[in-house]
Structures are given as structure tokens and as C-alpha cells.
Structure 1
Amino acid sequence: MSSAARSPEADLTACDREPIHRPGTLQPHGFLLALHGAERRIVQASANVPAGPDAVLGLELDAAFPEIAAALAAAPVEAGTGARHLRTLTLATAGKARAYDLAVHRSGDLTLVEMEEADASGPAGGLDALSSRLDAFVEGLLAAPTVAELCRLLAVEIRHATGFDRALVYRFDRDWHGTVVAEDGNGVLPSYLDLRFPASDIPAQARELYRRNRLRIIPDAGYAPVPIVPALTPGTEAPLDLSQSVLRSVSPVHVAYMRNMGTQASMSVSILVDGALWGLISCHDHAPRRVPLPARNACDFLTRIFALQLAARERGAEAEQRLRLGAIAQRLLGAMAETEDFHDGLLARPDDLLALTEAGGAAIVTAGTCRLVGRTPPEAAVRDIYRWLSARHGGEEVYATEALAEAHAPAAACTETASGLLAIAVSQRYASYVLWFRPEAVRTVKWGGNPTKAATPDPAGGPARLHPRTSFETWKETVQGRALPWSLPEIDTAKDLRAAILGIVLRRAEEMAALSVELQRSNKELEAFSYSVSHDLRAPFRHIVGYAELLRTRDGANLSEKGRHYLDTLVEAAFSAGTLVDNLLAFSQMGRNALKRIDLDMNLIVEEVRRKAMRDVAPERRVQWRIGPLGRVRADPMMLRLVVENLLSNALKYTRGEPETVIEVAREPDRDGEAAFFVRDNGVGFDMAYVGKLFGVFQRLHRTEEFEGTGIGLANVRRIVERHGGRTSAQGELGRGATFRFTLPLCA
């Protein structure tokens, strides 16, 4: 940061508060009249008015100055137009005729008339004197290859029109420091070309006056101020607002500044681009110098022509940059549209991601991920910046700085990669950012004197205030810890990218929401259909079994052996179909019943299910159980019991042919807030090529003749686990057993 910007804020406030638009005095090279009402009664006048203020106060203008009244009658004054030069008048004062340039403007309810003494010794004034050079000037502006050349042409033309020793074109930066970007001089005064001046040299209220009143001249810094009589405006009891005045007295601080600079006369013309203060033309002379008002108005006209060309150049350059960045943004949008996750789309075009903001590095950071591109700080430092952004600037859509370490001190350790930061928040709910980094741009700034201004105590006991520097010798400062500033098109393009990302995310969220609604509707219809079919089919299967048993009891003796076999097959098939319907009914109800989660001891659940399963195991089977400590989970007890029943019964069923059955139930290390379990057996296993079918409804990898079942058990396991927010998986090998894993949320 520049040393000027480090000046204590308290040192500047006294200067900033100075009411320079209401000084209460004028420069003495003219006089002022304040007129009120339609009759134009004189209510205030400067002390140097011909015949004295006492002789004119209270009179109507046409009685005191009929020549001025006639000129005003021919050219009515409108509010808000600023000071206008009407004409040059000759007044008979103190026994001799004297020429004055008449300027008039509005100040609240008053009309202010200013009569500036015309100086025949000054440069020839007005557009007539400049007409021979005007065409060449305009042609030069059109042909100038750079903004620097535009500024040089203006400095040359303004000095020629005014005769000052030196004419400077002075440009403000974002922090209101000013740099002399062009100069023309005769060598009498030292060159200030390329020197920088701190914002404190032209305080905020002075800049506002420059914006509102484009022209100001101080013909002689040694002038004695002329008071306005009375000091307060009748009716308002406030000092007269002289914002638009051409004779307004200036701050004593500014007069001292001029003297310290070695100049006795100065003139400034404001350069406004789209209504904003871009810079100033500042002219100086080593001796007092008068420039007639018409000549000053001509300089203002030239400056406005220059400002139009300047604005066109800057807008053209900005438009070109926006088009180039827009094309890059379109490529990034295309890449994002082709991926499910916009992160992947951005990272698929790393060069474009960096070129979008002319950055050296970039990062996409969320609470769980940090993906880096180009030259960036280490991941730990990027995460620290992310946490700081979330905490200090979480409500901001875009954050940009060229001096990150000044806002976030730990970033001083990574200035080589991240002196500048541009960040966009890409989520409206969660902290998620795209970050761009710029490296440090070490440069030497040449100041016009030491920019650090110390406040000095007021001898009268008032607050400390700034005083003008006494030296303008070149003072060099090495600026470190700052990157090149982010341009407005770069920031706007980042904003547009943010809007596009949010649009993509929102559109996909809406698509997912619509799909979710459709899936819920389809699931409900399927559940209702399954329930209805299952419920309605149970009665016919009961009838088949019932009548088959009656047939066996009453007429079984009359049936042949083949007939009895058919009857047994019929009963077995009916029982199997009934079991299938019951399982289907249970599966359809699985999505209809609300979960009732409680904290459960998994070892108790497993032991209860194990005992029940062993009742149906033949006494001669050898079964070895290996059950580890399983801890606690939060789940619905009825549904969790069904999961364990299905897994343990499957393990017993598919190990039936083994000489010794080994079934292991264990808990794996917790991860990501989940408890992970597995059930492993040494049975027939399965081919991993078909693992995708295992958890589907009616999907079986073994023939019914080998192992009974309906193919719904594992589908129930998956559905229950997913309803709890967990996951299921399986791993197996033919002839070497299978392992089934599932996860459940940890206890709170």
C-alpha cells in the first residue's frame, strides 16, 4: 500500500470538512452581486463593488447597474447550468471606463452576477483565437495512437491558449491518487511528468467542486481576499454558496501549497468522462498571470472535445475486452453444460478459467473439496482464505482486492502467488467459491515529494490538521504486496459467470426436484399396485392349498402315485406362491411405513436373530459364529431386525453344503458419520459379473432347485438401509463365500 494511503484517517478529516464552497470571500480581480426575486434586488455584494456595498445593497439591479440589467434581460439564467459568460461590458467606475467579463449563475434562490476585470495584457481569448488551431487539434486527437498521446496534445494546446509556463494533464486512480500523465512547459518550472500525488492533496470536497465547476483560476496567489457583505445571506442566515463562482476565494492551505510549489498563478480545467471526474488540466506560472474568461471557456471547450475522444477510446478498449472475456465465458459455459458437476466443466478448460480474469492461479473450494489450477498458494493457505471469506464476506456475491494481505494478514506469506484475489460465491446456501489469484507486482512509484503528511497541532487549541508539504522533490517508493488491479470488465465477467453457474445449478436442482416428484408419484402408484395385487392374491392361493388338502384327505387313496405327486407339487407351488406374495406385500409396505428411529445395541439385535435362525438348522450341521463388538446405531428396530434376518438366513442357506459353516458379523472403522458393518460367510459365493442384480426384486443368482427363496430379501435389505440414509454393497467369489456390507448413521 502506498504511504499516502497509510496516513491516519484522523489527519485528513479536518481538511475534508473545510467548507471551501462557502469561503465568504472572493479573489479581488472582480466583484460579485447576489440578486433576489424577479425585481433582482441586490441582497449581498463583495466589498470591492464600485461605489461600495453600502451604496448598492437593497437597490434593484437596473437602478444600480443598468448595463448589467440589460444584459441579463437578453439572456435569462436557468438553474443548474453553471456559470455562463454572457458578454464583455464597460462600466463607468471611479470616473473612468473599465471593461468587465460578465458571468452569471444560480445559487439556490439567488442569481449571482460576477464581473471579472478584462485584462488586455492576457492572451487573446475565445474560440476565435483558437479557430486556426482547432481543426489541427481535432485531427490530432483522431489520429493519436494512444491515450498518452491524446493527453500530450491537450497539454500542448492548453498551454498555447493560456501562455502558462507549464500545463499538466493529471489523472486520478481508483484511490484518488493522481499521476501526471502528460506535460508541456517552457522550462521555467520543473517537470512533474510521471510523478504521483496523494489523494490528500485534493480532498473529497475539493474533487466534488472540480466535478461541479469545471473551471478555476488563481491569477495571483498573493491576493488579499475580498469579503462578501453581509457575510450571511438574508433569509437563510448561511454563508453564500459559491460552488459555481469564477471569482471564489480558495483555501489558505491551497494558496500555501502553490507558494511551496514555486508558482504564483494557476488554472485548472476538469476532465469529466460520463459525468465522473477523470482528471484535471493543471496550469502553473512562476509569476501572476491573468487569462480572460473567454479564453478559459475556450479551454473548457477543447477539454470537452478531448473528453469525448477519451471516452470513446476507453469505451472501445473496454468493449473489446468484454467481447474477448465473453467468448472465454461462453467456452466455459459450454464445458459446464456437458458435465454433471460445474466444477468438472470449469476444470476441463484450465487455460480459459485463468484467462477469464487474467489470473495466475485459480481454485474451486467448498467445505469438502479444494481443487487448484495454475500458480496458487498451498492448499492449506487456500482453505484458510476460504474460511476467512466465508466468515468476513459470506454475504457478498463478489469480492475483489489487489492487496489481500492488507485485508487478511496471513495471506502475507503467499504474496508471490496471491497478492490479488477475486472471488465469486457460487452457492446461495453453502460456502462455495471460485477464487482467482494474481501474483505480486513489485513496482517503483515516483511521488511529487514525500506523500506522508503528518498532522500538526493547531496553535489556537483546535483539532490537528494537515498542512501542505514544503518539498516537491521526487520521492521514490517501492510498492510491494499488491497485484495489478482487477479491471471492471474482469469483475463484471466474473459476476456473469457466477450468475450462469447459479442458473445451471438451479436448473438442475429444478430438474432433479421435478424428477423426484415424478419418482415419488410412480413409487406410490407401484406400492399401491403391489399391495393391492399381493393382498388380492393371498386368498386364491389359500383356496388352492385348502382344496388340495381336502382332495388329498378324501380321495387321496383313489389317486394314482403320479396323481399324488401332482397334488404334492400343486400344494408346494401354492405355498411357494403364497410366500412370494407375502414377501411382495412386505416389500410394498416397506416404503409406506414411517421410520421410528431409536438408539439400538447391534449385538443384542444380532444375537436375537441368530438364536431364532438356529432353530431351523439341522442338529447335525456345524455352524461357527464369529460376532465382534458391534456398538450402537440409530435405526428403526423392526426394520433393522429384518435386515439382519435376511443377511443371516442367507448366510446359513448358502453355506448348507459346507462341512463347517463359518459366519462372521463385524463392525468396520466408522467414517463420514456412518457405522459400517459386514456379514461374511464361506458358502457358494457368486460371480461378481452379476453383482448388480443381487439387490434387485426377484433377482436370483442360483436355481430354486438348489436354494429356496423368492429374490426379495436382499431388495428389502437395500431399501431399508437406503431409507435410513445408508449404503449397501456385496463382494463374492464362486465357491469361496460372500461378504455383504451396509452402513447406518451413527448415534447422535
Structure 2
Amino acid sequence: MKIKDIVNRDIVNLTNCEFEPIHIPGSIQPHGFLLGINSNSWKIDFCSGNISEYIPAEFKNVLGADFETAFGQKQQAAVADYISKNLLLSSTPLKLELFGNDFLCTIHKSDDNYILEAEPSTENPKKLTDVYDQTSQFLAYMNETHTLKELCDMVAKGTREITGYDRVMVYRFDKDYNGEVFAESVRDDLEPFFGLHYPHTDIPVQARELYMQNLLRLIVDVNYTPVPLYTEDDGNESKNLNLSLSILRSTSPIHVQYLHNMGVGATLTISLIHQKKLWGLIACHHYSPKNLTPEIRLAAQLQGHFITSQIDIRQSNEEYEVARKSNIALEKLNSFDLPAKEESFEIIANSPEIHEICNASGFAIVLDSKIYKSGLTPDDDNIYKLCRWLADFTKNSSFSTDKLINYLPNASDFCEEASGIVYHPLSADSSYCVVWFRPESLTEVNWAGDPKKAIVKDEKGLYPRNSFKIYREIVKCQSKIWLQPELNAAANYAHTLQKQFNLLIITQEEEKYRKLSEILKETNSELENINWISTHDLQEPLRKIQMISSRLLGKEDEQFSDTVINSVQRMNNSAQRMQTLLIDILKYTRIQHIDDSFELVDPNEIFVEVLSDLQELINEKGATVNIEELPKIKGIAFLMKQLFSNLVQNSIKYSFPDKAPIVNVKSLGIQKLESDELFQVLEFSDNGIGFEQQFAENIFNIFSRLHGQDEYKGSGVGLALCKKIMQVHKGSIIAEGIPNEGAIFRLYFPTKQD
């Protein structure tokens, strides 16, 4: 059988250091040995090269063998039982005897393999009862702390007492994963690191991802020689073993060099996970080699759980006073009885509470061409520019930052007044928004070495920095951070401002429409008066023209030429047409203001009156009007009479001279239109001249005519009057025409009337 190691020998350099495959180093630390057991066949696929240092077996002989053959049936049964019961509790060790030697083993699954890591079981100099007593005492003391800082100080001290490391630090990340030593317990003769900051490059992305998966990481001796992992060479070049969850996993050579440069001999790192993110680390340093038993590791890991379980509670306690003051200011602002006028925003801007709700130093409301502001703010031009940029940058959504210059480079022009902002839009228009401002707060940050030189490259390759001398940096154009209660209060009141703004817009629109309505009402009244006066007064001279022309034509003793008689007759006909037009216009204008209540009307009774009124016209034209039994309809009786009369007259008027007009009226029952509303439908059809369907809408326009006066007399108001009557009834009228065959008019009366 051909065997190969899977050591990852890729050279790490500046172009790929962030992509270093630290989860597949192909090697382990030497304080234990590792087996990779195929989860289906129980065949040993991987084995560390140091197995012979712990048991009388060579890795060459173990590889490819069944676990039972290599270690015995009893041992396989113990491992199988552990896997079935405790695999998810990887921190619980399995006590296993191999070739007469006792080991404490951890087992987890990686792809298709169970990874078994064995460490020699030794006498624990620190009794488990002592560890239990220390943990119990810690829990009792923990309830006496109130702030997160106090709790972290206690965890650092407690972890150091349990583990015996020279230095224990609680390391907290900021939003960019730069780290800060937030709490520390250190040997008296060592220089403290408390308060120092470390750049995010010290713990690269892939390392942070592993910290999220494997909550405990141990380096027993930074001077260790990595032990290669071996496997059967089956021609698969990509064959490897994912050691993300491994206890023994070998460490990145860059990290080892980093620890060498710090003078550290051994480390223990415990992940602090909060809200599914890496909040920080418990970092333990020892200045000589140091190992911990699995029990002590578990007790140390428990210290991390104490912190993460209390982060929300402690932060809430610390922020309580801030939230209380913000809520008091918010309640006072919300209690203002503000008018729906722009002046209300001036009242708000000048209220001291508008700053207190989020501890801002400046405030501005932008309402199109006006700015209401108070406190320390940029000038108006910069506020306008800022709001336009924010609307575009945020896609018109809320935004906050304590370092605006990170997003808007030219913000340095006004960072003294507005390094930090909280922004909320008031509408979809960028011209309406509200902004709180915080000024620049110059701060001094102590870095453990120059953060710009965190990684050094020379002709030999890539190295971590070897200087941790304090590097002081003055941070400019950055404000104090906005705490969550402050952001919550600002968002809450921004919502109130938005409602006030909407109320202002509605009030302004109402006022605008009220004025327009008054102007329109006055104008309509004047037009009606003019219309009434003009139509009423015009009828008098028309009657005189008709009277005089009739007298002239009736004088038998006067002999007029045919030309004169023709002219007088034409004058009389014109006067009669004009009088008819004036009467129709009066009818049309009066219909707009009818406010009669609707009642149940019998169309059959109305048609009796209509046919009686039109009897002379029907006889003259030889027309036939067929009316089927019609259902009762909710409407206004006298308008329906006018409607039916106009439609019958229209059908008789637009008929062929040599064909007797036939008008049919019937009910089509109740029908549903697109609106799902139910309508009672009546249909009028005739055998007249019809019309092109393209004119089906135009014929309802007032004064609209498809034929000249010489062919068919009329004012052009009749069908417009019909449409107006149907609108009064909240219904509709639809026309269909076929040239030379006839026309159909359908009337839709709603079955329900308000």
C-alpha cells in the first residue's frame, strides 16, 4: 500500500494570506494523536505520524485497517456507543484504554469521517471538586456585578484561577473586527495589555470563521513541531481532512510567528458568540508550554458562556439610564399640541427635548425650501447637499453613523459640527427629512504596534509584526457612538414627525381644494345666472321674430316675391331652431343640481305619459313603439320620463323617409359589469339610419351632431341630456350602431342606490 502525507505546503503571501486554508493544515500538534475513521466502513483512512509515541503501533500498519482489527472489539464498541450518545457533546471526553494506556478522547464528524483525537490521561493536579467550588463561587459573585465591564473583569480573574495561565484577557471586537482588551487578569510582573487595541488583520476572516465553529482553541507549546497526517495514496490529489472542529489542529505558521514575536509560549482561546456573531474572545497566554486537561478546558469554556449569556442583560442595565432620559424627552415632545402648520416644526426644532431624545448636539428638519434647525449644525447649503446625498445613498431609508466621512468623503468640510448623524426621510421626496447631528469627538486610541504595519513583507516572505510598542493614534471626524436606545427614540419621534408632516400636507391640500371649490362654486353660480338670463332673455326677441314673420306670411292683401317669402320662412325656421336649442340648454344645466331622493318607479306608467305626449309625432311618422313589460327601477320619475322621451324621439327622428320607424323597448334583466356591481338593464332599439361604431362615444357629447341640420333637425343636446340623466342615477348609457340598419341604446340602472 502506498502512503502519503496531506500536509498543506502552500506558501502564504500578501496576495493570499486572507485565503490561507487553515482548516486543512494536514498536520496536528504533538500532545496527542489523531485517527480519521470512515463513518461507513470503520476503516482507518487517516492517521497522525506520532501514533507510535503513544501506543505500540506504527501509522503505516494502522492505515487501511479496520478499527476493530487495529484496536479490538471492546474499543470499537466503546467508540460506537460514544458516537451514538455523545457526538453532539464533543466537549465531553471519552475515556478509552488502548494497549494498556489510558486516553481521554474527543470525537466529532468531518465529512465522511469520524475524527478521534486522543490525549494521554494524566493525574489531575487540580481536583475537579476545586474547579466546581471555584465555578460555584463565581456564580455567586456574578450576581453582585451590575455592568458588563465588571462581569468581564470577574471572568478574566476566574478563568486565570481555574486554568493557571499567566495572562487572561477578555478581547472585544468592534464593528470592523478591530479588537480591544476589555478586561484583563495578569501576573504581577508582566506588563498589562488592558485598553490596547489590535487591528482586524491580527485575526483574519478565515480564523474568525473557525472561531465561530470551534469554540475552544488550544496551543500547548508554540515551539512544537507539526505532526503530519498520513493517508493511503489512491491517486486523489485533493484528498484531505477538514480539521475545523479539531482540538489538535496545527496552527498557521504566521500565527505561530506572531506568538513568538509576543514572547508567548502557550495559548487558550475561547470564542464569545453573541446573536450569532463573534462578539469577542477570552484569550489566555502563558509564557512557557502549558497543557490543560479536558475537564479544565470545559470549566474555562463555561466562563465564556457566563459572559455571552449576560451581554444583553448587562448592556441593557448600562443603557437603562440613557433610555430613561430619552423616553422622558420623547414623552414631552409627543405631548405637544401642535397645529397642522409649518410653524409647528419651528416649535419642535427650538425645543431642548429634540436634542435630548438621542443626546444630539444639533437638529434640522428640511421641508423643501425651508430648514428649521437648532444647536450645532452645518450651514444650510451643506444640509441641503447632505439630505440629497442621503436620500440617494440610502434609497430613501433611515441611516445612522458615528463616522460620516467613511461614507461621504467631503463630509470633512463640516465634521466639526456633524461627524455623526441620524437621518430619517419624511417622504419619498429627498426635500423632506429630519437629521440629528453629533460633533467631532477627538479620541486617542492606543494600538499594540502600528496597525499599518500589522503584516510585514521582506525578501524572505511574509511575517507578522515583531513590534508591539504602543502606537498612539488620534481619531478625527468621528463622534461618540449612537447607543441603541438613542437610535430607537430618534426613530420613534421621526415617525411622529412624519405623521405631523403628512397632516400638514393634507391640511394644505384641503385648504387649496377648499379655495378652489369656492372659486368654482362662485364661477358656476355666475355662469348659471348668465346662462339663465341669456337663454330667458333671448327667447323674447325670438318670439317677436316668429310673430312678425308669421304675420308677414299671413297677410293676404300683400303680394311678396318668392325670394322674400323664402327668406322670411328661413328666418322663422331659424328662430324656431334657436328657441328649441335654448330650451334644451336650460334643461341640461338644471339637471346638474337635482338632488331629489330616489324612489321605486314603474317605467310602464311613465311610458304611458311619454307615448301620450309624443302621439302627434308618432302619427305623423307612422311609427310603431313596442314596449314589453318592464321591471320597477329606483330613480327619479320626471327625469326618467325625459330620458325615455328623448330616446324615443331620437329613434323616430333618425329614421328613413320611406320606411316607417319601429322602436322596441325591453328589459335585459339584471346584469353584472366589470365592477361586480349589479344593474337593471333596459334596451331601446330601432330600425333607423344607425351610425358608425367609432362614433358611439361622441354622440353623447353636447352639441355633437353626425348629420347636418338640412338632413335631420335638432339641437345636439338630446343624447347629452340622456347621459347626464343616467349619471344622476349613478348608472350609464351605452350605444351600438350599424349604418343603415339601426341603433341600440342600453340603460344601466344600479340595483342599489345610496
SS where residue 17 of structure 2 aligns?
Answer: helix
**By how many angstroms is 1:239 displaced?**
2.6
Q: Which residue of 2 aligns with 1:278?
A: 279
> In the alignment, is residue 152 of structure 1 matched against residue 153 of structure 2?
yes
User: Using the alignment, how far apart are the partners of 1:490 and 1:12 within structure 2?
Assistant: 41
Per-residue displacement from partner, 1:533-590 (whole Å, max 9, x unpaired)?
75455454557899999xxxxxxxxxxxxxxxxxxxxxxxxxxxx9xx99xx9xx9xx
> In the alignment, is residue 402 of structure 1 matched against residue 408 of structure 2?
no
Asked whether the 8 Å contact 1:125–1:294 carries over to 2, the reply is: no
Map 1:652-671; keep pairs closer than 5 Å. Answer: none
Per-residue displacement from partner, 1:417-467 (whole Å, max 9, x unpaired)?
22222222222133333222211212222222222226555758xxx75x2
Give % identity.
29
Asked whether the 8 Å contact 2:254–2:464 carries over to 1, the reply is: yes
**By how many angstroms is 1:256 displaced?**
0.7
Asked whether the 8 Å contact 1:263–1:287 carries over to 2, the reply is: yes
SS where residue 90 of structure 1 aligns?
Answer: strand
1:20 aligned to 22, 25, 31, which one? 22
Per-residue displacement from partner, 1:176-207 (whole Å, max 9, x unpaired)?
11111222122353211111111111112211
SS where residue 92 of structure 2 aligns?
Answer: strand
> In the alignment, is residue 65 of structure 1 matched against residue 74 of structure 2?
no
Map 1:83-122; keep pairs closer than 5 Å. Answer: 83-92=90-99, 97-120=100-123
User: Using the alignment, how far apart are the partners of 1:299 and 1:524 within structure 2?
Assistant: 83
Map 1:472-621; keep pairs closer than 5 Å. Answer: 472-506=468-502, 535-536=531-532, 538-541=534-537
- Which amino acid in structure 1 is aligned with residue 427 of structure 2? S
Q: Which runs of 5+ in 2 are unaligned?
A: 1-11, 546-581, 593-754
User: Using the alignment, how far apart are the partners of 2:165 and 2:25 within structure 1?
Assistant: 27
User: Using the alignment, how far apart are the partners of 2:63 and 2:333 within structure 1?
Assistant: 73
Asked whether the 8 Å contact 2:346–2:372 carries over to 1, the reply is: no
Q: Which residue of 2 aligns with 1:35?
A: 37
Per-residue displacement from partner, 1:386-439 (whole Å, max 9, x unpaired)?
344355x15141232322344434432433322222222222133333222211
- For normalisation by structure 2, the TM-score amounts to 0.63
Go from structure 1 to structure 2 and tell me whether the alpha carbon gap of 1:194 and 1:450 turns closer, same or farther (over 3 Å shift): same
State which drifts further: 181-190 or 378-387: 378-387
Q: Which residue of 1 aligns with 2:357?
A: 356
- Which amino acid in structure 1 is aligned with residue 69 of structure 2? A
Q: Which residue of 2 aligns with 1:228?
A: 229
SS where residue 269 of structure 1 aligns?
Answer: strand
Map 1:653-732; keep pairs closer than 5 Å. Answer: none
**By how many angstroms is 1:169 displaced?**
1.3
Per-residue displacement from partner, 1:49-72 (whole Å, max 9, x unpaired)?
342332222333233234542333
Map 1:103-502; keep pairs closer than 5 Å. Answer: 103-120=106-123, 123-124=125-126, 126=128, 128-230=129-231, 237-318=238-319, 321-322=322-323, 324-335=325-336, 338-341=339-342, 344=345, 347-348=348-349, 350-390=351-391, 393=393, 395-453=395-453, 456-457=456-457, 459=459, 465=462, 467-502=463-498
**By how many angstroms is 1:165 displaced?**
1.1
SS where residue 51 of structure 2 aligns?
Answer: coil
Go from structure 1 to structure 2 and tell me whether the alpha carbon gap of 1:418 and 1:539 turns closer, same or farther (over 3 Å shift): closer
Count, aligned residues: 539
User: Using the alignment, how far apart are the partners of 2:509 and 2:366 within structure 1?
Assistant: 25
User: Using the alignment, how far apart are the partners of 2:501 and 2:235 within structure 1?
Assistant: 65
**By how many angstroms is 1:89 displaced?**
2.4
**By how many angstroms is 1:13 displaced?**
6.0
- Which amino acid in structure 1 is aligned with residue 35 of structure 2? L
User: Using the alignment, how far apart are the partners of 2:113 and 2:421 within structure 1?
Assistant: 51
Instruction: Report the RMSD for the aligned CA atoms in angstroms.
Output: 4.1
- Which amino acid in structure 1 is aligned with residue 398 of structure 2? V
Go from structure 1 to structure 2 and tell me whether the alpha carbon gap of 1:360 and 1:78 turns closer, same or farther (over 3 Å shift): farther
> In the alignment, is residue 76 of structure 1 matched against residue 83 of structure 2?
yes
State which drifts further: 417-426 or 256-265: 417-426
User: Using the alignment, how far apart are the partners of 1:231 and 1:476 within structure 2?
Assistant: 54
Go from structure 1 to structure 2 and tell me whether the alpha carbon gap of 1:263 and 1:216 turns closer, same or farther (over 3 Å shift): same
User: Using the alignment, how far apart are the partners of 2:343 and 2:112 within structure 1?
Assistant: 61
Per-residue displacement from partner, 1:639-689 (whole Å, max 9, x unpaired)?
xxxxxxxxxxxxxxxxxxxxxxxxxxxxxxxxxxxxxxxxxxxxxxxxxxx
- Which amino acid in structure 2 is aligned with residue 480 of structure 1? K
Asked whether the 8 Å contact 1:78–1:106 carries over to 2, the reply is: no
SS where residue 239 of structure 1 aligns?
Answer: coil
**By how many angstroms is 1:138 displaced?**
0.9
State which drifts further: 531-540 or 139-148: 531-540
Asked whether the 8 Å contact 1:181–1:193 carries over to 2, the reply is: yes
SS where residue 283 of structure 1 aligns?
Answer: strand
User: Which structure has the bigger radius of gyration?
Assistant: 2
Q: Which residue of 2 aligns with 1:48?
A: 50
Go from structure 1 to structure 2 and tell me whether the alpha carbon gap of 1:315 and 1:110 turns closer, same or farther (over 3 Å shift): farther
- Which amino acid in structure 2 is aligned with residue 246 of structure 1? I
SS where residue 136 of structure 2 aligns?
Answer: helix
**By how many angstroms is 1:287 displaced?**
0.8
SS where residue 146 of structure 2 aligns?
Answer: coil
Go from structure 1 to structure 2 and tell me whether the alpha carbon gap of 1:41 and 1:421 turns closer, same or farther (over 3 Å shift): same
Asked whether the 8 Å contact 1:440–1:483 carries over to 2, the reply is: yes
Go from structure 1 to structure 2 and tell me whether the alpha carbon gap of 1:506 and 1:271 turns closer, same or farther (over 3 Å shift): same
User: Using the alignment, how far apart are the partners of 1:63 and 1:190 within structure 2?
Assistant: 54
User: Using the alignment, how far apart are the partners of 1:11 and 1:500 within structure 2?
Assistant: 55
**By how many angstroms is 1:38 displaced?**
3.8
**By how many angstroms is 1:504 displaced?**
4.8
Go from structure 1 to structure 2 and tell me whether the alpha carbon gap of 1:204 and 1:488 turns closer, same or farther (over 3 Å shift): farther
User: Using the alignment, how far apart are the partners of 1:233 and 1:167 within structure 2?
Assistant: 46
User: Using the alignment, how far apart are the partners of 1:502 and 1:542 within structure 2?
Assistant: 58
- Which amino acid in structure 1 is aligned with residue 76 of structure 2? A
- For normalisation by structure 1, the TM-score amounts to 0.64
User: Using the alignment, how far apart are the partners of 2:496 and 2:112 within structure 1?
Assistant: 52
Asked whether the 8 Å contact 2:147–2:317 carries over to 1, the reply is: no
Q: Which residue of 2 aligns with 1:665?
A: none
State which drifts further: 349-358 or 190-199: 349-358
Asked whether the 8 Å contact 1:332–1:345 carries over to 2, the reply is: no
User: Using the alignment, how far apart are the partners of 2:195 and 2:409 within structure 1?
Assistant: 31
SS where residue 112 of structure 1 aligns?
Answer: strand
SS where residue 452 of structure 1 aligns?
Answer: helix
User: Using the alignment, how far apart are the partners of 2:328 and 2:233 within structure 1?
Assistant: 61
